[in-house]
């Protein structure tokens, strides 16, 4: 139908272009009135159906564009929501990772402190033990020296004093 309307317009154009000019006037011409009016009637008959088809196509196009825009908006909205969720997950992950690193660092510091304190305690306990053993050794040496001054050294491996005598002397 679109071609039919264009064909009628082409025929009118040709009719006017080939028409005889009016004597003494360059911008006027003579056309067959009935033939021109018939072509215009045909054009009027064709144009409403072409216009309604064009309107229908424009409405369909507008509906399609509106639907595409709605769908694009929905896709964009869903993508933004998914991006927010991913950012939230990433944020939660980063927060958890930071907390884990902080906890590990604190644990390592506390462990080092406990090892240091345990080492100091053990060193102090061993020093006290060493002092006590040194005092005991000094006491043993002192008592032994006292015993040597009281009891003369044994000559044939036999002592004049018994163990009981030594124990009574210590008391």
CB 5 within 8 A of CB 50: yes
What's the whole-number mean pLDDT along residues 131-142? 90
Residue 74: per-residue pLDDT: 93
Answer whether 0.75 is exceeded by the pTM: no
**Average pLDDT score over residue span 16-35:** 81
State the DSSP string of 38-106: HHHHHHHHHHHHHHHHHHHHHHHHHHHHHHHHHHHHHHHHHHHHHHHHHHHHHHHHHHHHHHHHHHHHH
- CA end-to-end distance (rounded Å), the chain: 141
Lowest-pLDDT range, 8-17, 20-29, 37-46, 68-77?
A: 20-29
- For 127, the token pair is 């020093």
Answer whether residue 151 shows pLDDT above 90.
no
Reported confidence tier of residue 166, pLDDT bands at 50, 70, 90: low
């Amino acid at each position: 139908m679109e071609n039919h309307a264009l064909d009628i317009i082409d025929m009118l154009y040709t009719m006017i272009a080939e028409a005889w000019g009016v004597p003494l006037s360059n911008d006027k011409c003579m056309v067959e009135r009935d033939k021109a009016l018939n072509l215009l009637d045909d054009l009027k008959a064709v144009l409403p159906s072409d216009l309604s088809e064009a309107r229908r196509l424009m409405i369909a196009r507008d509906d399609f564009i509106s639907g595409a825009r709605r769908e694009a908006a929905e896709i964009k909205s869903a993508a933004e929501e998914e991006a927010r969720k991913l950012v939230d997950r990433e944020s939660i992950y980063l927060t958890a990772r930071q907390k884990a690193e902080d906890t590990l660092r604190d644990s390592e510091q506390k462990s080092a402190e406990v090892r240091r304190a345990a080492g100091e305690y053990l060193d102090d306990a061993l020093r006290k033990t060493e002092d006590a053993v040194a005092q005991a050794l000094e006491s043993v040496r002192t008592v032994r020296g006292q015993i040597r001054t009281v009891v003369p050294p044994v000559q044939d491996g036999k002592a004049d004093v018994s163990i009981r005598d030594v124990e009574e002397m210590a008391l």
